[in-house]
Chain A
Amino acid sequence: MSTRAVEAWTLEPLKRFVSEAAARLVLLMTPAGQVMAQHGFSRAVDVMSAAALGTAIMASTTEIAKQMHQPPFAALTHQGERHGIFLAGLSTNRGTIVALVVYDVDVSSVGLVQLFYEQLAADLQAASPKEGVPKQVLAADFERQLSESLNTLFGR
Protein backbone atom coordinates (compact mmCIF):
# COMPACT_ATOMS: atom_id res chain seq x y z
CA MET A 1 0.00 0.00 0.00
CA SER A 2 1.43 3.36 -0.99
CA THR A 3 1.54 6.54 1.05
CA ARG A 4 1.82 9.76 -0.93
CA ALA A 5 1.68 13.44 -0.05
CA VAL A 6 1.11 16.69 -1.88
CA GLU A 7 2.49 18.56 1.15
CA ALA A 8 5.82 16.83 1.81
CA TRP A 9 5.89 17.62 5.55
CA THR A 10 2.82 15.44 6.12
CA LEU A 11 4.47 12.30 4.70
CA GLU A 12 6.61 11.04 7.60
CA PRO A 13 3.98 11.61 10.33
CA LEU A 14 1.42 9.86 8.13
CA LYS A 15 3.69 6.87 7.41
CA ARG A 16 4.37 6.49 11.13
CA PHE A 17 0.67 6.67 11.98
CA VAL A 18 -0.27 4.10 9.33
CA SER A 19 2.33 1.67 10.57
CA GLU A 20 1.46 2.05 14.26
CA ALA A 21 -2.33 2.21 14.04
CA ALA A 22 -2.50 -0.46 11.29
CA ALA A 23 -4.83 1.78 9.30
CA ARG A 24 -6.11 0.58 5.96
CA LEU A 25 -6.92 3.95 4.38
CA VAL A 26 -5.99 7.45 5.51
CA LEU A 27 -6.76 10.81 3.98
CA LEU A 28 -5.38 14.12 5.23
CA MET A 29 -7.21 17.11 3.77
CA THR A 30 -8.14 20.71 4.38
CA PRO A 31 -11.66 21.46 5.66
CA ALA A 32 -12.43 22.51 2.06
CA GLY A 33 -11.66 19.00 0.83
CA GLN A 34 -8.26 19.68 -0.74
CA VAL A 35 -6.22 16.50 -0.27
CA MET A 36 -2.80 16.88 1.37
CA ALA A 37 -1.80 13.23 1.68
CA GLN A 38 -3.25 9.77 1.34
CA HIS A 39 -2.49 6.18 2.18
CA GLY A 40 -4.02 3.08 0.66
CA PHE A 41 -6.23 4.56 -2.05
CA SER A 42 -5.65 3.20 -5.52
CA ARG A 43 -8.07 5.30 -7.57
CA ALA A 44 -8.35 9.08 -7.83
CA VAL A 45 -12.13 8.90 -7.92
CA ASP A 46 -12.17 7.17 -4.51
CA VAL A 47 -9.96 9.88 -3.02
CA MET A 48 -12.16 12.65 -4.36
CA SER A 49 -15.34 10.97 -3.10
CA ALA A 50 -13.87 10.23 0.33
CA ALA A 51 -12.52 13.78 0.64
CA ALA A 52 -15.85 15.31 -0.32
CA LEU A 53 -17.85 13.05 2.02
CA GLY A 54 -15.40 13.38 4.92
CA THR A 55 -15.31 17.15 4.82
CA ALA A 56 -19.09 17.29 4.39
CA ILE A 57 -19.52 15.18 7.54
CA MET A 58 -17.09 17.43 9.42
CA ALA A 59 -18.98 20.53 8.26
CA SER A 60 -22.31 19.00 9.32
CA THR A 61 -21.15 17.92 12.77
CA THR A 62 -19.43 21.28 13.33
CA GLU A 63 -22.70 23.01 12.51
CA ILE A 64 -24.65 20.67 14.84
CA ALA A 65 -22.20 21.52 17.63
CA LYS A 66 -22.65 25.21 16.86
CA GLN A 67 -26.44 24.84 17.07
CA MET A 68 -25.96 23.20 20.47
CA HIS A 69 -23.66 26.06 21.57
CA GLN A 70 -20.84 23.59 21.98
CA PRO A 71 -17.26 23.60 20.66
CA PRO A 72 -16.82 21.41 17.55
CA PHE A 73 -16.77 17.65 18.14
CA ALA A 74 -13.24 16.35 18.61
CA ALA A 75 -13.75 13.17 16.62
CA LEU A 76 -16.41 11.03 15.06
CA THR A 77 -16.18 7.25 14.93
CA HIS A 78 -18.30 4.67 13.21
CA GLN A 79 -17.80 0.96 13.67
CA GLY A 80 -19.08 -1.34 10.99
CA GLU A 81 -19.01 -5.12 10.82
CA ARG A 82 -15.57 -5.34 9.17
CA HIS A 83 -14.32 -1.78 9.05
CA GLY A 84 -14.30 1.22 11.33
CA ILE A 85 -14.16 4.88 10.32
CA PHE A 86 -12.53 7.62 12.36
CA LEU A 87 -12.87 11.27 11.36
CA ALA A 88 -11.31 14.17 13.25
CA GLY A 89 -9.83 17.63 12.82
CA LEU A 90 -6.42 18.72 14.07
CA SER A 91 -4.58 22.04 14.21
CA THR A 92 -1.26 22.77 12.52
CA ASN A 93 0.70 25.90 11.67
CA ARG A 94 -0.87 25.59 8.22
CA GLY A 95 -4.41 25.61 9.61
CA THR A 96 -6.86 22.84 10.36
CA ILE A 97 -6.41 19.43 8.79
CA VAL A 98 -9.15 16.84 8.61
CA ALA A 99 -8.06 13.23 9.00
CA LEU A 100 -10.18 10.38 7.70
CA VAL A 101 -9.04 6.92 8.82
CA VAL A 102 -10.49 3.57 7.82
CA TYR A 103 -9.32 0.47 9.71
CA ASP A 104 -10.11 -3.25 9.68
CA VAL A 105 -11.68 -4.22 13.00
CA ASP A 106 -9.78 -7.54 12.90
CA VAL A 107 -6.44 -5.76 12.73
CA SER A 108 -6.91 -2.51 14.63
CA SER A 109 -9.43 -0.86 16.94
CA VAL A 110 -10.88 2.55 17.64
CA GLY A 111 -8.75 2.68 20.80
CA LEU A 112 -5.54 2.11 18.84
CA VAL A 113 -6.50 4.62 16.16
CA GLN A 114 -7.36 7.24 18.80
CA LEU A 115 -4.11 6.59 20.65
CA PHE A 116 -1.88 7.01 17.62
CA TYR A 117 -4.01 9.81 16.19
CA GLU A 118 -2.93 11.94 19.16
CA GLN A 119 0.68 11.26 18.14
CA LEU A 120 -0.14 12.06 14.50
CA ALA A 121 -1.67 15.39 15.56
CA ALA A 122 1.44 16.26 17.59
CA ASP A 123 3.79 15.16 14.77
CA LEU A 124 1.93 17.17 12.15
CA GLN A 125 1.86 20.23 14.39
CA ALA A 126 5.63 19.92 14.89
CA ALA A 127 6.35 19.25 11.20
CA SER A 128 4.13 21.96 9.71
CA PRO A 129 6.13 24.93 8.36
CA LYS A 130 5.70 28.07 10.44
CA GLU A 131 6.64 30.65 7.85
CA GLY A 132 4.61 31.47 4.80
CA VAL A 133 0.93 31.09 4.15
CA PRO A 134 -0.69 28.51 1.96
CA LYS A 135 -1.33 29.62 -1.61
CA GLN A 136 -4.83 30.78 -2.31
CA VAL A 137 -6.52 28.59 -4.86
CA LEU A 138 -7.96 30.68 -7.64
CA ALA A 139 -10.74 29.41 -9.86
CA ALA A 140 -8.55 29.74 -12.93
CA ASP A 141 -5.84 27.54 -11.40
CA PHE A 142 -8.14 25.07 -9.74
CA GLU A 143 -8.30 22.48 -12.50
CA ARG A 144 -4.52 22.52 -13.01
CA GLN A 145 -3.79 22.31 -9.28
CA LEU A 146 -6.27 19.48 -8.85
CA SER A 147 -4.61 17.53 -11.67
CA GLU A 148 -1.16 18.16 -10.20
CA SER A 149 -2.31 17.04 -6.76
CA LEU A 150 -3.87 13.86 -8.11
CA ASN A 151 -0.76 13.11 -10.15
CA THR A 152 1.35 13.47 -7.02
CA LEU A 153 -1.02 11.38 -4.93
CA PHE A 154 -1.03 8.53 -7.43
CA GLY A 155 2.54 8.82 -8.66
CA ARG A 156 1.75 9.62 -12.28
Chain B
Amino acid sequence: MTAAGFGRALDLVTRVRGVRGAMLVSAADGLVVADQLMEGIKGPAVAALAGSLASRLGRAMTAAGVGESVFWHLQGSGGALLVVPAASGILVVAVAEPEVNVGLVRLELLRAAEAVA
Protein backbone atom coordinates (compact mmCIF):
# COMPACT_ATOMS: atom_id res chain seq x y z
CA MET B 1 0.00 0.00 0.00
CA THR B 2 1.22 3.53 -0.78
CA ALA B 3 1.37 6.54 1.52
CA ALA B 4 -1.67 7.92 -0.33
CA GLY B 5 -3.53 4.68 0.42
CA PHE B 6 -2.72 5.01 4.12
CA GLY B 7 -3.92 8.62 3.97
CA ARG B 8 -7.25 7.55 2.45
CA ALA B 9 -7.69 4.91 5.16
CA LEU B 10 -7.10 7.53 7.84
CA ASP B 11 -9.51 9.94 6.12
CA LEU B 12 -12.31 7.42 6.79
CA VAL B 13 -11.73 7.85 10.53
CA THR B 14 -10.84 11.53 10.83
CA ARG B 15 -13.95 12.69 8.96
CA VAL B 16 -16.12 11.50 11.89
CA ARG B 17 -17.16 14.43 14.08
CA GLY B 18 -15.34 14.38 17.43
CA VAL B 19 -12.28 12.48 16.20
CA ARG B 20 -9.14 14.48 16.99
CA GLY B 21 -6.77 12.25 15.12
CA ALA B 22 -6.12 8.84 13.62
CA MET B 23 -2.97 6.81 13.26
CA LEU B 24 -1.70 3.59 11.77
CA VAL B 25 0.74 1.98 14.20
CA SER B 26 3.02 -1.00 13.75
CA ALA B 27 1.78 -3.21 16.59
CA ALA B 28 5.04 -5.10 17.11
CA ASP B 29 7.30 -2.03 17.08
CA GLY B 30 5.00 0.63 18.53
CA LEU B 31 6.05 2.99 15.75
CA VAL B 32 3.87 5.37 13.73
CA VAL B 33 3.27 4.23 10.14
CA ALA B 34 0.99 7.13 9.16
CA ASP B 35 -0.95 9.74 11.09
CA GLN B 36 -3.42 12.58 10.82
CA LEU B 37 -3.42 14.24 14.24
CA MET B 38 -4.55 17.56 15.63
CA GLU B 39 -1.85 19.67 17.24
CA GLY B 40 -1.04 18.70 20.81
CA ILE B 41 -1.45 14.95 20.41
CA LYS B 42 1.87 13.18 20.97
CA GLY B 43 1.77 10.68 18.12
CA PRO B 44 4.93 8.67 18.89
CA ALA B 45 3.93 8.36 22.56
CA VAL B 46 0.40 7.18 21.70
CA ALA B 47 1.84 4.73 19.16
CA ALA B 48 4.40 3.27 21.56
CA LEU B 49 1.93 2.84 24.40
CA ALA B 50 -0.85 1.52 22.13
CA GLY B 51 1.59 -1.05 20.70
CA SER B 52 2.58 -2.14 24.20
CA LEU B 53 -1.04 -2.32 25.30
CA ALA B 54 -1.98 -4.36 22.21
CA SER B 55 0.71 -6.89 23.03
CA ARG B 56 -0.43 -7.26 26.65
CA LEU B 57 -4.11 -7.32 25.78
CA GLY B 58 -3.45 -9.97 23.16
CA ARG B 59 -1.77 -12.17 25.76
CA ALA B 60 -4.57 -11.58 28.25
CA MET B 61 -7.21 -12.51 25.69
CA THR B 62 -5.33 -15.61 24.62
CA ALA B 63 -4.99 -16.65 28.27
CA ALA B 64 -8.71 -16.08 28.77
CA GLY B 65 -9.46 -18.17 25.70
CA VAL B 66 -11.60 -15.50 24.05
CA GLY B 67 -9.70 -15.24 20.77
CA GLU B 68 -8.08 -12.22 19.19
CA SER B 69 -9.14 -8.66 19.98
CA VAL B 70 -11.36 -6.98 17.39
CA PHE B 71 -11.93 -3.55 18.91
CA TRP B 72 -10.97 -1.71 22.08
CA HIS B 73 -12.42 1.46 23.49
CA LEU B 74 -10.63 3.20 26.38
CA GLN B 75 -12.70 6.00 27.82
CA GLY B 76 -10.91 8.75 29.72
CA SER B 77 -12.29 11.84 31.42
CA GLY B 78 -11.01 14.07 28.62
CA GLY B 79 -11.43 11.80 25.63
CA ALA B 80 -11.26 8.31 24.28
CA LEU B 81 -8.83 6.01 22.53
CA LEU B 82 -10.37 3.56 20.06
CA VAL B 83 -8.34 0.85 18.37
CA VAL B 84 -8.94 -1.85 15.78
CA PRO B 85 -6.10 -4.31 15.03
CA ALA B 86 -5.77 -5.02 11.29
CA ALA B 87 -4.72 -8.37 9.90
CA SER B 88 -1.41 -6.97 8.65
CA GLY B 89 -0.08 -6.29 12.17
CA ILE B 90 -1.14 -2.65 11.97
CA LEU B 91 -3.24 -0.99 14.67
CA VAL B 92 -5.77 1.57 13.46
CA VAL B 93 -6.01 4.09 16.30
CA ALA B 94 -8.44 6.96 16.80
CA VAL B 95 -8.10 9.68 19.45
CA ALA B 96 -11.51 11.18 20.08
CA GLU B 97 -13.43 13.60 22.24
CA PRO B 98 -15.50 12.17 25.11
CA GLU B 99 -18.86 12.66 23.40
CA VAL B 100 -17.85 11.08 20.07
CA ASN B 101 -20.22 8.62 18.37
CA VAL B 102 -18.33 5.45 19.31
CA GLY B 103 -20.40 3.20 17.04
CA LEU B 104 -19.62 5.29 14.00
CA VAL B 105 -15.90 5.52 14.82
CA ARG B 106 -15.80 1.74 15.31
CA LEU B 107 -17.38 1.22 11.90
CA GLU B 108 -14.88 3.51 10.20
CA LEU B 109 -11.94 1.95 12.09
CA LEU B 110 -13.03 -1.49 10.86
CA ARG B 111 -13.28 -0.17 7.28
CA ALA B 112 -9.84 1.43 7.57
CA ALA B 113 -8.43 -1.82 8.99
CA GLU B 114 -9.81 -3.72 6.01
CA ALA B 115 -8.24 -1.17 3.68
CA VAL B 116 -4.76 -1.53 5.20
CA ALA B 117 -4.89 -5.30 5.73
Contacts and interface: CB of A to CB of B under 8 A. Distances in A.
Interface in A70-118: 79, 105-106, 108-112, 114-115
Interface string B31-73: 1000000000000110111011001000000000000000000
Interface residues of B, number: 14
Contacts of A115: 30, 44-45, 48-49
Interface residues of A, number: 10
Given A108-B52, A111-B51, A112-B51, A79 B45 contact: no
Contacts of A105: 28
| 8 tightest A-B CB contacts, nearest first | A111-B30, A111-B48, A109-B30, A115-B48, A112-B48, A111-B31, A110-B29, A109-B51
14 contacts: A79-B29, A109-B48, A109-B52, A110-B30, A110-B31, A111-B25, A111-B29, A111-B30, A111-B31, A111-B44, A112-B49, A114-B31, A114-B44, A115-B48
